[in-house]
């Protein structure tokens, strides 16, 4: 890769038979896509060109990467959604970013630009920082929070790839519920909050998180630290079974009833390489209150 040039792009080439074929920079890989019940559009000769395939182990959440005739690369970079991202294949089949979130990254940029002033934002369960960097690109000062120090270091490397951004980033390694509770006591306020909570989690002191039990409390705590006197937004995304765009939207509208007229819900999707087809890969519910006509 030549100096000052962006990394090569990520592309979803095809999907079907509960798998997806991806071009991840210089490498072509196959990963599970459990909702791709249709048949692949590309011939098997294209799939057979894959450099690696991830297969899940029976009875567990992990799996094995099988690399063909090559030494597995430790890491490399791609560009997606206007952000350079460091790729490191994990034991769970993840690459270090979720391509379906790109539509939300652009929505966040637009919200911050439309606010018409300086924005202070919070990204909970922030993972490797795609949403954090999108908000910083648009000029927001963003607090990036994740419970894993290793994941935060990964996000910081993504920031280094991204170069200078108008907004500043504050990095916090902490439990999301505990941090939001402390921010309430400090009377800290944010103009926008992003959260992509896991289905299940366990804190450092044994505390258990289940999304179906904790989502209402989490959203109420988020409302308490939103500066609703100025333009504000909240973005909730989800990959958990049992939730739909409608159910996720109702969770958000229940906590923000006066702003329900601004509610948007939908599926997050990944476009398939210019074919017009998309792969569904999660859901979202979001509110942007511009405070101009409310």
**How high is the pLDDT of residue 279?**
97
Q: What is the pLDDT of residues 133-157, one digit of tens each?
A: 999 999 999 999 999 999 999 999 9
pLDDT digits (tens, 9 = 90+) for 97-125: 999 999 999 999 999 999 988 999 999 99
Instruction: Round to whole Å and give the CA distance between 114 and 206.
Output: 41
Let me know if domain 99-289 sits in CATH 3.40.50.150: yes
Residue 227 has pLDDT above 90, yes or no: yes
What pLDDT score was predicted for residue 1? 47
Cα 61 to Cα 32: distance, rounded to the nearest angstrom: 12
Planar angle of CA 213, 219, 223, nearest 5 degrees: 155
pLDDT-derived band at 16, boundaries 50, 70, 90: very high
Whether pLDDT at 255 is above 50 = yes
Q: Write the CATH number of the domain with boundaries 10-87.
A: 2.60.40.1180
Per the prediction, the chain carries an average pLDDT of: 92
Domain with CATH 3.40.50.150 in the chain: 99-289
Residue 69: predicted pLDDT: 84
Query: In this predicted structure, what is the pLDDT of residue 204?
Result: 58
Structure-block tokens of residue 86: 């460091």
- Residue 230 pLDDT: 94
Helix residue ranges per DSSP H, 140-241: 149-162, 176-185, 211-224
- Would you report the helix, strand and coil content of the chain in percent, each value rounded to 5? 30, 35, 40
Q: Please give the model's pTM, rounded to 2 decimal places.
A: 0.92
Residue (of 134, 143, 132, 81) closest to 109 by Cα position: 134
Task: Name the packing angle between helices 211-224 and 245-255 (round to 10°).
Answer: 40
The pLDDT of 215-234, averaged and rounded, is 95
At residue 3 the predicted structure's pLDDT band, cuts being 50, 70 and 90, is low
Integer Cα distance of 208 and 228 in angstroms: 30
- When pLDDT is averaged across residues 7-12 and rounded to a whole number, the result is 96
CB-CB neighbours of 148 under 10 Å: 12
What per-residue confidence (pLDDT) applies to 203?
62
pLDDT greater than 80 at residue 60: no
Q: Is the pLDDT of residue 183 over 60?
A: yes
- Model confidence at 83, in pLDDT bands (50, 70, 90)? very high
Domain(s) of CATH 2.60.40.1180: residues in the chain: 10-87
- CA nearest neighbour of 188 among 237, 154, 141, 148: 141
């Amino acid at each position: 890769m030549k100096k000052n040039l962006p990394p090569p792009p990520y592309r979803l080439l095809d999907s079907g038979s509960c798998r997806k074929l991806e071009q991840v920079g210089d490498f072509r890989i196959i990963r599970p896509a459990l909702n791709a019940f249709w048949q692949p559009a590309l011939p098997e000769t294209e799939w057979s060109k894959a450099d690696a395939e991830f297969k899940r182990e029976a009875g567990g959440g992990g799996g094995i990467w099988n690399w063909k005739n090559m030494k597995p690369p430790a890491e490399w970079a791609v560009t997606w959604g206007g952000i350079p991202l460091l790729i490191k294949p994990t034991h769970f089949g993840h690459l270090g970013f979720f391509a379906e979130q790109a539509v939300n990254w652009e929505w966040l940029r637009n919200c911050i630009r439309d606010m018409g002033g300086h924005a202070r934002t919070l990204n909970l369960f922030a993972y490797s920082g795609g949403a954090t960097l999108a908000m910083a690109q648009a000029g927001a000062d963003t607090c990036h929070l994740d419970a894993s120090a290793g994941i935060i270091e990964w996000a910081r490397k993504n920031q280094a790839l991204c170069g200078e951004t108008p907004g500043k980033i504050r990095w916090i390694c902490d439990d999301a519920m505990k941090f939001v509770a402390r921010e309430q006591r400090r009377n800290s306020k944010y103009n926008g909050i992003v959260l992509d909570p896991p289905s299940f989690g366990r804190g450092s002191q044994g505390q258990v998180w289940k999304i179906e039990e904790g989502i209402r409390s989490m959203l109420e705590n988020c409302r308490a630290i939103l500066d609703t006197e100025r333009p504000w937004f909240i973005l909730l995304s989800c990959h958990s079974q049992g939730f739909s765009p409608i159910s996720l939207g109702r969770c958000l509208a229940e906590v923000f009833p006066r702003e329900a007229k601004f509610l948007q819900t939908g599926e997050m999707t990944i476009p398939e390489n210019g074919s017009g087809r998309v792969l569904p890969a999660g859901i979202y519910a979001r509110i942007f209150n511009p405070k101009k006509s409310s």
